[in-house]
Every structure is written in C-alpha cells, then in structure tokens.
Amino acid sequence: MIRPYGDTRDDGKVQLSFTLPIEWSERADEAARRLAVSMGFRDVHVAEGRPAAQGFSFFVVYASTASAIDAEAIPSSAVEAPAMSMEQIDAFIRERVGRTVRVAGACIGTDAHTVGIDAILNMKGYKGDYGLERYAMFEVFNLGSQVSPEQLMRFAKERDIDALLVSQVVTQKQSDVKNFTALSELLEAEGIRDRILLICGGPRVTNLLAAELGYDAGFGRGTLPSEVAAFIATRMASKERA
Amino acid sequence: MHLHVDRSSVDRCRAFARRIVEPVQAYIRAHSTLSVERTVLRLLGVDGVDSSEIPLPNVVVDSLPRERLQWGIALPFGHALAQTRLEPATLARAIADGEVSLASFAGVADAAARSALHGYVESALAQIGARRGERDALLERLPQLPPPLLYVIVASGNIYEDRTAAVAAAEAGAQIIAVIRSTGQSLLDFVPYGPTTEGFGGTYATQANFRIMREALDEASERLERYVMLTNYASGLCMPEIAAMAAVERLDVLLNDSMYGILFRDINMRRTFVDQHFSRMLNAYSGIIINTGEDNYLTTADAVAQAPAVLASQFINEAFAHDAGLPDEQIGLGDAYEIDPDLPDGFLYEVAQAQLARQIFPKAPLKYMPPTKHMTGDIFKGHLVDAMFNLTSVTTGQTIHLCGMLTEAIHTPFLADRMLSIENARYVMNTARHFGEEIEVKQGGIIDRRAAHVLRECEALLERVAEMGLTSAIEAALFADVSRSPEGGRGLEGVFAREEGYWNPFEDALAGATSRG
C-alpha cells in the first residue's frame, strides 16, 4: 500500500489549488480549510488565499490524506505492443500479414484540431519518428477534420479499411466520449466492428478509457507514430493467424 | 535591442509580395461571393431569421436566381425597395414570408434602385463611423496600459458565462478579450442569430453575443478606468459578414487572415481571397485591427523550419491588407512562441524571430501567440515556458500578447488559470520592462545569424512563390506543409464572376473613403 509522498514515507502530503466563488476574506480562507477537511484531508494548511476576481478567491492548500492504494493490484493500462522501428514494422507486416494494411484516420465530430492525427499519420511524424504515410506497408487515408462518425463508418466500409484511427483534441462537456461511442456503435450496427481495428487518440485518452468505450486501443499525449504502427502490425498479424 | 537587418532584402521581399498578390487582386476584382452579397444586405439593415432559423440575409440572397446575382444583390434589392417603399428589414421579412419576390421588379430603373439605397448606405457608413469615433473617444478618456496588451480567451459556449469570465479577466489585468468561436463555425455558410448558450470548444459569433460582451466590457472599462478591447474571429466562410457585425458592435480587433481558412479549415482559396478582401475593407473603415494567423504554421509544422514561411506570410498578409485599404497601424501580423522547449538555444531563436518582425514591420501592432504545441499536463513546466514567452514579448516590443495558459494542454481555461497567466505576464513584463532597450545583440552571434538566416530563406521562398504564383504555391504545400487545390475545399459554389455593371454600393464607398484617408 502506498500514500502520497511529501518528504517522508506515508506522510500523505498533497497540494491542491482551487477557486471559490466568494469575495476574499479571512472567512474565505477558513471556508477553504473546512472544505479541504470535508474532503477527508488532515493537517490542512491554507498556504495562500487571495482575491482572484470580484466575487472569487484563489487558494493553494497543503494537506495530508490517510488514504492509501495498492498499485500492484491495478491491471496494466498501457497498450501492449513491442517497440519496433519503421523498418522492423514494415518487415513484420510483409512477413506476417503479407499485404499492405489500410489505415484511415480523422478528427471526428466538430473537432477541427488535426495536430494529433497528423502527428501519427503525416509523413513527417512526431519527434523525429516518421508517420504512417512513410511506411511501405501502410496505405493511409487521412480524412482530416470535422468528419462525422457516419462519414467515417461509410468510408471504412467502402474502402475496406483495416484500422480506423480517430482523434479528439479539443473537448468540452464530454463531447469526445460521445463521438467515440457513436462511432463504435455505428460500426457494430453495420456489422463491421469485428473486422476493423478501432483506435482512439487524444490528450485525454487512456487505454483504459478506450477499453470502456469498446475500442481496441487508446493512445494519449506524446504517443509516437511507431507505437501506433507496432500495435496495428501485431494485432493484424494475430488476426491473420486467427 | 537592435538587429542588423538587410534592408535591401526586406525591399525585395515586399516587391515579391506585391507580385504575389497582384494576380489574386485581379481575380478578386472580377468576382463576388454569397457572403459578400449577404454583407451588403446586413449593412443595409437586413437581420433576423425566418421560421426555419435561416438568417434573412441568406434567405434574400438565395431567393434570387444565381444568373441574376452576378450583378450583385444591391440592384435587385434596390429595385424592390424603390417600388415597394418598404424599409430593408421589412422587405427582407416580406421576401422570407413569400409575399414579395425580387424577381418581379426587374422592370424598375437602376437609377431608382440606386437612389432608393443611397440613404441606407450613407446611414450604415455613418453608424460605423460613429462607432469608430466612440472607440477613439473612449481610448482617449480611458487609456490602456502600455503594450504588450494582454489578451485572453474566453470560450465556455455560453455567452453569459463568457461575460463573467471576461469581466474577471479584465479585472485581473487583461486588456483584450477574445471570445473564441464554437469549433466548426468557420465552416458554416451563415452566421447564427441571437444570444447563444451552447457551443463546442467556444461560443458562436453572433451579433447579439457581440453586443452582450461589448456592453459588459464597456462597463468594466469605466470601472477600471482603462478601455478593454473585444476580439472575435472572421476567418471562415462568412468573413465579410462578421466584419460588418464587428464594425456595428464596436469590436476592436478581428482575426482576419488571407490564407488561414484555406490552409487550416480547407475553405476554397478563391472564396477566401474574395471574402477576405471585402471584410478587410470593412475593417479598415471601422478602425478594427486585424490579426493574422501565422501562428498556425508553427503549431501544425516544425517551428524552427517554418520560421521563413511565417515571415513570408506576414509579407503577403501585409500586401493583401494594404490593397484593402488597411494602414500599417491596423495590421496585426501574427507569430508564435512554438519552438520545442528541449531545443538548445530555442529561446534565442524565438527572440531573433520576434525582433526581426518588430523591425521589419515597425508600425504594425504585432500579435504574439503563446506556446501551445509543446505544452503538456505538467502545468509547472508550462508556467515556466510561458514566462520565457512573456520575456521575449516584452523584450522585443510585441503589441498584442496572447497570454499563455499553464493548462493549455488540459482544458479550456478555468478562471484561476487566466488569473495565474495574467499575473505571470504582468510580473515578467514589469520586472523586465526596459530590458530590450538595454541589451545589444552580438554581431555574428546566434541571434544575429538566426535572424539573417530567416530573412534570407524568406526572400528565397517569396521569390519562388512569386514565380509559381500563390495558387500553385499553396497547391505545392509551400505554406505549413498543407496542400490545397484551387477547386478544392468548401465554399467554391458560393463564388461567382461579376457581370459588366455589377454593383456593390459599400465597396465603392469604402474604396473612396480609405483611399482618401
């Protein structure tokens, strides 16, 4: 079992900052302290309390928690795929899949921010790691931004796509989750979910979230194109065997 | 701080930019768009929506057969006005209700149409002029804090929540408030109507929302005894319409790039070129500062490699802006602090680029955008990177300073995020206020060499673009690694060739007004 670590094992120290919709005063500081206590924290210290705007106060709070967690008991959340270079992945696909893999990617819903999907698909790639377009064994269709789940489903069906990559960068009020879910449900309804590798990505995406949404994998911030490529390659290989 | 800048190279860059925009200007002069024609109606006083929520300017323009639209909407609308003696707003409503059809007034003389419109054109221009006068008077009475002017974004989707956030930000020190638009609005071929409380990643730009925010900021300006500016975004399929609304509601700054929609929203290039021109003519007359979108090159492609393209785009945006009658003082060319924080001496490169723009465009209210691409969930590092950006901005004398948010990579800013961001900027800009005037750049050093390199590469790029033509250059992905074709993208169906005798009364009046000024 582990607890947050300040400077001593099990001291349970956490730092919090938050805003309250109240004009700043000593009473506001006390309100912040009591609020932290009501969250279950002990040794609450309001290190900073001051006006943030008219009718708002800002606080920095240090406190201790008695809560602890058994991290060992948590199933692994990272996508499991071996680290391979572009050349290794191309060779792997050639040998184990025996044909080019068709990949389509898009930003779905109203999201117009293609930074994420471009980093994975565009030739140039991300952080010196080439994008999927550069691979010999991927045929890539980057559909760009603001593609509806319906359009993407139709495209996947018509072009016989093996792997669908969907990205959501700007999200508000859970719109990313709604769009991701809409796509996976559409593929189910069309009866093509099983033959497509469905992958989501975005700064807030985790592999656990992806699994909950019925996706095969989810990639978060900082993902390299080769990580996605390796995942697709290994899953395609096991699919071909099956 | 002063860089050695090769003036003859700058002159050649401007000459290339002129050669680049000339053929596009010829195309612009020979064409109009649905949005330009809808703008004419808006300026005449047509507003509101029909029973299916379609804006009346769209209803009226779409009611005219396309082959008749080639002379512009003004003449047929003027024919109907002359004959029916209705007010423009009432006439538009009657057309929407199916009581009147523009097609039935073709027999009326053009002279009658012109004279029926004359008073409305005059009063629209007078209204915009009055709004401009108001701004001048407010700025005189409630002077702003010295630049860099701190600019923050509100984007809740709900204009009333935005208003609370905007006033709070102004109290914390913000001098320019931008209401970021709902994602995807740039691709709508109409402007939504009325106050709105739902949006994705932003709040719809509507005239009512403009007014709500302007009123709140005017109140805050009086209370804070400094004028707080308001910004919105024109780029998209409705550039001139938003420019007209902004003029009437006294916005002060408008994002208006000659190529942004083409490259980053896949809007057809012909549509964008024609639309940006008329919208910028309106911006010029209304005294609105335009902001261009060069920062986007850096977020979508490598920031170090794209530096010459940013400068090249600034030259092109400047040339287009001059053609629309905008003086240098209203041309807020864009740049951004987007170099990878892990790159050794990246800060020096940023200083070189920012100072280069400052010296090449000395009168321009340069717009400097914060780091976004390399921001992560590590808000502590993000806050530090923002501080370096703030230092660059104050040292190189940038004018419009978009405050970077420590939570850039996480969510649309919380109230406290904005406060922390503004505090960061105020601290750095206060403690380093005159730093730029105190330091000298080492000749032959890293900053000096970087600036020279960027200018040299920019000149080479502009020369290439001038030789191949802007259209082909965009097609060849010379800007931001994005390729767009002349027939591709959204909105081309809304572009049409002007027939002999085409008439846009505002274009004539604005061209006269700005060339006099």
Q: Which domains does chain B have, with CATH numbers?
A: 31-123 (no CATH), 145-449 (3.20.20.440)
| Co-location of A50 and A126 in the same domain | no
Query: What are B509's two structure tokens?
Result: 């009046």
CA distance B140 to B135: 8
| Co-location of A41 and A106 in the same domain | no
| Co-location of A129 and A226 in the same domain | yes
CA distance B40 to B240: 9
Residue at A171 is within a domain: yes
| Co-location of A47 and A164 in the same domain | no
pLDDT at residue A240, rounded to an integer:
66
- Shortest Cα distance from A30 to chain B (angstroms)? 19
Q: How many helices (H) and strands (E) does chain B have?
A: 21, 11
| Co-location of A91 and A148 in the same domain | yes
pLDDT at residue A242, rounded to an integer:
54
Residue at A28 is within a domain: yes
Mean pLDDT of A63-78: 86
**B172 or A35: which leads in pLDDT:** A35
| Percent of chain B predicted with pLDDT > 90 | 85
For the segment B457-514, what is each residue's pLDDT rounded down to a tens digit?
999 999 999 999 999 999 998 888 888 999 999 999 999 999 999 999 999 999 877 6
The amino acid sitting at B432 is A
User: 0.80 exceeded by the pTM?
Assistant: yes
| Co-location of A109 and A57 in the same domain | no
Of B168, B171, B200, the CB nearest to A175: B200
CA distance B465 to B485: 15
CA distance B244 to B275: 12
Mean pLDDT of B67-73: 94
pLDDT at residue B320, rounded to an integer:
96
For the segment B147-162, what is each residue's pLDDT rounded down to a tens digit?
999 999 998 889 999 9
pLDDT at residue B357, rounded to an integer:
97
| Co-location of A92 and A188 in the same domain | yes
Mean pLDDT of A138-167: 90
| Co-location of A90 and A41 in the same domain | no
Please check the confidence at residue A20 and state whether its pLDDT lies above 60.
yes
Residue at A199 is within a domain: yes
Residue at A59 is within a domain: yes
Which CATH number does the domain housing residue A43 bear? 3.30.30.60
pLDDT at residue A171, rounded to an integer:
56
pLDDT at residue B49, rounded to an integer:
96
Residue B516 pLDDT class (50, 70, 90 cuts): very low
CA distance B504 to B496: 14
> Which residue range is the domain that position A138 belongs to?
86-241
> What ipTM was assigned to the predicted interfaces of this complex?
0.80
A124 is catalytic: yes
Residue at A56 is within a domain: yes
Residue A172 pLDDT class (50, 70, 90 cuts): low
Question: DSSP code of B255?
Answer: E
Per-chain mean pLDDT for chain A:
89
Q: Which residues of chain A neighbour B301 with C-beta distances below 8 Å? A: 124
Give which of A110, A113, A123 to mutate to test B binding, by max B Cβ within 10 Å: A110
Which CATH number does the domain housing residue A229 bear? 3.40.50.280
Chain B nearest-CA residue for A145: B265
β-partners of residue A103 are A140, A163
| Co-location of A60 and A149 in the same domain | no
- Of the candidates A184, A185, A186, the one whose C-alpha atom is nearest the C-alpha of residue A199 is A184
Query: What are A38's two structure tokens?
Result: 């009501």
Please check the confidence at residue B70 and state whether its pLDDT lies above 50.
yes
**Number of domains chain A contains:** 2
Per-chain mean pLDDT for chain B:
94
Among residues B260, B297, B337, B502, which one is catalytic? Answer: B260
Please check the confidence at residue A82 and state whether its pLDDT lies above 90.
no
HEC profile for B310-378? HHHHHHHHHHHHHHCCCCHHHEECEEECCCCCCCCCHHHHHHHHHHHHHHHCCCCCCEEECCCCCCCCC
Please check the confidence at residue A54 and state whether its pLDDT lies above 90.
no
List residues of B whose CB lies inside 8 A of any A CB: 157, 167-169, 171-172, 182-184, 186-187, 200-201, 264-266, 299-302, 373, 376-377, 409-410, 412, 414-416, 419, 481
pLDDT at residue A165, rounded to an integer:
95
pLDDT at residue B467, rounded to an integer:
97
| Co-location of A157 and A210 in the same domain | yes
| Co-location of A102 and A159 in the same domain | yes
Mean pLDDT of B54-61: 97
For the segment B341-374, what is each residue's pLDDT rounded down to a tens digit?
999 999 999 999 999 999 999 999 999 999 988 8
Please check the confidence at residue B275 and state whether its pLDDT lies above 80.
yes
| Co-location of A95 and A204 in the same domain | yes
For the segment B187-222, what is each residue's pLDDT rounded down to a tens digit?
899 999 999 999 877 899 999 999 999 999 999 999
Residue at A78 is within a domain: no
